[in-house]
Structure formats: C-alpha cells, structure tokens
Amino acid sequence: QVQLVDSGGGVVQAGDSLILSCGASVSMYAMGWFRQAAGKEREFVSAITWSGSRTYYQDSVKGRFTISRDNAKNTGFLQMNSLKVEDTAVYYCAATQGNFISGLENQERYRYWGQGTQVTVSS
C-alpha cells in the first residue's frame, strides 16, 4: 500500500558524486538508506528522523555522504561525494511505520522499502 521508489544510481569514477532520491506515495516517518554489495549482507548507510533534527551515518561514509528530506514532497535524498570503489552496491531507501528516533541503524525498524538502485564506482 505504501510505495517507495529510489533512483539516481549509475556508473561513476572514484571521486565523483551522485544524488540518490527516494519518493514515497505518502508522508514518511523516519527514513534511511541501506546498501548491499555483491556477496555481502545488507548494511546500514544513513538515517534521518521525521523532523530532520537527527541524522545518523555509518562510519565509512561520515564526512562524504549527507542525508536530507523534503517532507512537503514526500521525498528523501542521499548526497554522495568523494565516492570510492568500496561504495559500489545496490542502495535501498526505507521508511518506518512508526516515528522512531533510536535504533534506525537496524533494518528491522523499517516497514517499507524501495526497489533498489545500483551504484557502481570504478577506479
């Protein structure tokens, strides 16, 4: 019933930037981004609360990625700068069913998921 569409992935060179978008069919509570590289488990990347007052980042992306949202448009974003080969993965946006503040690094917090968008970073 709740649909999320993530987009913006592509093939880029190391050091380049990309902006991922996540459009929702309804207003979102907390939302986050996860990624899954080939042969690896899905991992937390970043999250933001409903008001945008709190943000969270995986250590490996701190200082390079910025999460944001536009609640008037039911849309979230992930600005990715200084991309590395290690960032190559399928990126998924997700939204919670309730207005959580803590535990947003845990994928179990999220009820709704986008289809995923591929980010490939070459050297």
Q: Which pLDDT score is estimated for 2?
A: 86
Can you tell me the distance from the alpha carbon of 43 to that of 87, in angstroms, rounded to the nearest whole number? 11
Task: Express each pLDDT in 51-102 by its tens digit.
Answer: 999 999 999 999 999 999 999 999 999 999 999 999 999 999 999 999 999 9
Distances (CA, A) of 19 to 8, 72, 78, 120: 6, 19, 6, 13
HSE (CB half, 13 Å, CA atoms) of 70?
A: 8
Percent of the chain with pLDDT over 90: 97
Can you tell me the distance from the alpha carbon of 49 to that of 100, in angstroms, rounded to the nearest whole number? 7
Q: How many residues does the chain have?
A: 123
Q: What is the DSSP letter of 14?
A: T
pLDDT at residue 19 greater than cutoff 90:
yes
Q: What does the mean pLDDT of the chain come to? A: 96
Q: Work out the angle at residue 116's Cα, subtended by the Cα atoms of residues 112 and 61, and round it to the nearest 5 degrees.
A: 95
Q: Which pLDDT score is estimated for 59?
A: 98
Q: 32 is written with which tokens?
A: 């986050």
Q: Which pLDDT score is estimated for 14?
A: 98
